[in-house]
Structure 1
């Protein structure tokens, strides 16, 4: 089995700040570092490190070849990452304060220019039962999800950054939906439907420090978060998503997949960085909480 991820690839620029800047405020940073990021890349790296065969569908500019290569070094199949001559790689400016909270500004760049032939070539290799994962940092999510559903793939969607129109368009093609508590409330406001009434087989609502909630048919089950002291919450949700889908792809029941993903996310928030520091399966298994 395999996971095909139509997802963003970003260069993440981290600025350590004493507090998140307010409107009109100029703030001196305490440090700067660059790393691989983007919700798509994060999820692909997480899924690969969780043991799944993960194929990334995306694009970078000529300035982003290092990002593609770093994904490959993390175990991600990057044959379907296009290189664009005239478009910059997407990037994110991430302010992280002393409490581990963050504020992020994104430039989509190549993430909004993924060639249609790149998407088509990747899905032409997929088999029924494989997984397609999409997020909202690229375009053509619903079109790609519809094609994947017709091919018999399990279609998963991380509804972030939240966009009501994009989410409504893709809902009819989904088998799996993951979103946080705020996004769930926004979706309910946009559709007048609660998460358990959307017609999606598996819905997970992440609840931050309170854990996660799984809704499937008549089943509603809460999973507690691991007791850790966070230093950086960036990428924790992406790590959770990648691990859940990788575990499911490897045949684990959803309850076990969520429990494993909760451990991976808890370990992730104790580290500074994004894709560079996503834990592998051995680290998650050996972690003591």
Structure 2
């Protein structure tokens, strides 16, 4: 079985802030750094660091060669990563303040993924392989439909959550991965209570597997009437940018290695807790060995 992460690649422009910028306000950052990011890249690296062989498909611009090199450094296979010489790579403007973040995305080359590229990539995969996607690339309806026709299992991290989500063939998704905001939107509920969000997801997607992460309240596995809760590990967070992507990668990798849902949630929670103690996105993701060692000390 092969794992295909078909997702975004962004340059991350990270500004450490005393507070998030308000309308009409001009302010200075405490510090600035540029790194490699994009939910697709982060999740591919999380899968690779958790010990899986993973292929990343996507698109970078004329300035994107560093992404190809960076992914390869972590053992991610880039056979199906396309470079566009006339477009810039996507980027993200990330403000970080008191361990929270807000993000503005520019799609760039991520929005040039087309049916021809999807068709070519999918010729290398077959029934039973896993496809991981996010809502940061173009042609998702076509990708979901064609992957389902080939018999791939599809995991969909519905971030960023917007109205486009409901135009996709969600009935073809096998696993949804959402945080509390995305879960609330996906379930179409107005309540902020986690119990109401879970009930809404169960009602809207009774036959799907759903992973719901809720920050300091931990995470939930939802499948029909079955609900499993995992507490969050208590740590001093520095930067939560890659927390969700780390959780996604380590959870899926653990399941694919044959772990139970409960163990997979614990491993993913521990990996995510390590990630948030460091600044940055992809570079903050731990290895499986680091996660296992850390769990011995709990």
Same fold judged by TM-score > 0.5?
yes
1:59-80 deviations in Å (ceiling 9; x for gaps): 0011111012101111111111
Distance 1:84 1:278 in 2: 28
Distance 2:27 2:140 in 1: 37
CA contact (8 A) 1:212 1:222 kept: yes
Q: What TM-score results when the alignment is normalised by the length of structure 2?
A: 0.92
Secondary structure of 1:148's counterpart equals helix
Q: In the alignment, which residue of structure 2 is the partner of 1:71?
A: 71
Q: 1:104 to 1:230 in 2, by over 3 A?
A: same
In the TM superposition, residue 44 of structure 1 has moved relative to its aligned partner by: 0.6
Distance 1:61 1:215 in 2: 38
- Structure 2 counterparts to residues 38-57 of structure 1, below 5 A: 38-57=38-57
In the TM superposition, residue 190 of structure 1 has moved relative to its aligned partner by: 7.4
Q: In the alignment, which residue of structure 1 is the partner of 2:211?
A: 204
In the TM superposition, residue 201 of structure 1 has moved relative to its aligned partner by: 2.6
Q: In the alignment, which residue of structure 2 is the partner of 1:234?
A: 241
Could you tell me which runs of 5 or more consecutive residues in structure 2 were left unpaired when the two chains were aligned: 191-196
Higher relative contact order (CA 8 A, sep 6+): 1
Distance 1:199 1:87 in 2: 41
CA contact (8 A) 1:142 1:166 kept: no
Secondary structure of 1:79's counterpart equals coil
1:219-262 deviations in Å (ceiling 9; x for gaps): 11111001111010101001101111111222222222111111
In the TM superposition, residue 34 of structure 1 has moved relative to its aligned partner by: 1.1
How many residues are aligned here?
A: 288
Q: What TM-score results when the alignment is normalised by the length of structure 1?
A: 0.95
Distance 1:73 1:200 in 2: 38
Secondary structure of 2:48's counterpart equals helix
Q: In the alignment, which residue of structure 1 is the partner of 2:164?
A: 165
Q: In the alignment, which residue of structure 1 is the partner of 2:132?
A: 133
CA contact (8 A) 1:90 1:107 kept: yes
CA contact (8 A) 1:82 1:115 kept: no
Distance 1:176 1:188 in 2: 14
Distance 1:84 1:139 in 2: 15
- Structure 2 counterparts to residues 11-50 of structure 1, below 5 A: 11-50=11-50
Q: In the alignment, which residue of structure 2 is the partner of 1:94?
A: 94
Secondary structure of 2:259's counterpart equals coil
Q: In the alignment, which residue of structure 2 is the partner of 1:58?
A: 58
Could you tell me which runs of 5 or more consecutive residues in structure 1 were left unpaired when the two chains were aligned: none
What is the CA RMSD across the aligned residues, in angstroms? 1.8
CA contact (8 A) 2:87 2:108 kept: yes
Of the candidates 197, 200, 220, which is equivalent to residue 213 of structure 1?
220
Does residue 195 in structure 1 map to residue 201 in structure 2?
yes
Does residue 151 in structure 1 map to residue 150 in structure 2?
yes
